[in-house]
Amino acid sequence: MTSQMGRDSMGGVMKAVGYLRSYAISNSKAFEDFVIPMPEVGENDLLVCVKAVSVNPIDIKTRLNASPQNGKPRILGFDACGIVEDFGANVQGFKKGDSVFYAGMINRPGSNSDFQTIDYRIVAHKPVSLDYIAAAAMPLTALTAYEMLFDRLNVKNAIHKGKNALLINAGAGGVGSIAIQLAKKLTDLTIIATASRPESSEWCRKMGADVVIDHRKPFAGQLEAHGIKQVAFIFSNAHSDGYLPQYTEILAPQGRLGLIDSPKTFDINPLKAKSISVHWESMFTRSLYMTDDIRRQGQILAHVAELLDNGKIQPTLTRVMRPMNAATLREAHQLIETNRSVGKIVIENS
């Protein structure tokens, strides 16, 4: 897909990548190239010329479970970085030509298109130190990690005798990668990450993990080998139901468990004796329900941009693909679906 065509050069239309039916990624119609109308700019919207997007597991889940409506293609894509082309009457803090990044909304057309409208309250200015490609890797995972650590788990409020430790499972994934960094730079927690392969273990250490354990082996024994009997907090990124018995064992009394995946069943009764609290994190909650604090997402991204520009955290980009078209999106989704990817995949809209 060729970007930067201009708003009027094709008569009020733009190129986009989407799907008409939910297919396995092996199907050639899992993604198709479309020409669709330009989006209308609402009073709280920025119109952004999309320069780069990244692919997240939520893209795969949405593709497989959310069928398009009314015969119109579903346009996926959440993370994006681009340039403001226009804005609505209520917009504050942005102007035409600004470089911005954001994580999108689950209930509006996505970023896999030449242009996108997005609520300005969940947008921030792009980190000055990063190009569009590296910046596009950051928003969704950074928001998920930041909200879980500080809005849900409240990790700055320590748990008595919890060794002040945080365990992050699947530490080499997109969310795990930034969660390790944020916790390392913004708290005094001991950071424990789980991984299973040499390359993913090394990545976790590079991100700042103090300890890396193998999630294929029992947790308790590995932690005790490092002098850790209990942890105060657990940030569970995947397979939470399967790990729940081990979480119950290693969490300190009055500890906190946070999860972002969607287990089919999740019996939390075993957590009662320790008064362990359970916290869900969905990055889309604030924008989906237009919560009173929706602006916090823009503020979090602004803080993340500051941390990146000050060198306190590093981008999690590991692979760049181009151009943005159906074939490239299919390849990116195939890579994510292996569950073996490290860091973030970004697609440049060139």
Distance CA 18, CA 31 (A): 5
pLDDT at 5: 40
Residues of the chain with pLDDT under 70: 1-11
pTM equals 0.94
| Predicted pLDDT at 11 | 55
Phi, psi values for residue 336, rounded to 5°: -65, -40
Tell me the angle at which helices 326-337 and 57-65 cross, rounded to the nearest 10 degrees: 110
- Euclidean distance between CA atoms 198 and 245, whole angstroms: 26
Q: What is the DSSP letter of 20?
A: S
**How many C-beta atoms lie closer than 10 Å to residue 64's C-beta?**
15
Gap between the Cα atoms of 77 and 153, Å rounded: 27
Q: Residue 233: in which H helix or E strand, if any? A: strand 231-236
Q: What is the mean pLDDT of the chain?
A: 94
Longest Cα separation, the chain: 66
Give the chain's domains with CATH numbers. Answer: 13-138+294-348 (3.90.180.10), 142-280 (3.40.50.720)
pLDDT at 159: 84
- Give me the pLDDT at residue 158, please: 83
Answer left, alpha or beta for residue 326, where phi above 0 means left and psi between -120 and 50 means alpha: alpha
- CA distance linking residue 282 with residue 311, whole number of Å: 27
Residue written as token pair 């995949």: 345
What is the C-alpha separation between 51 and 136, in angstroms, rounded? 9
- Residue-wise pLDDT tens digits, 204-245: 999 999 999 999 999 999 999 999 999 999 999 999 999 999
Instruction: Report how far Cα 313 is from the mean position of its chain's Cα atoms.
Output: 16
Closest CA to 165 of 194, 191, 204, 183: 191
Tokens (6 digits) for 186: 């913004």
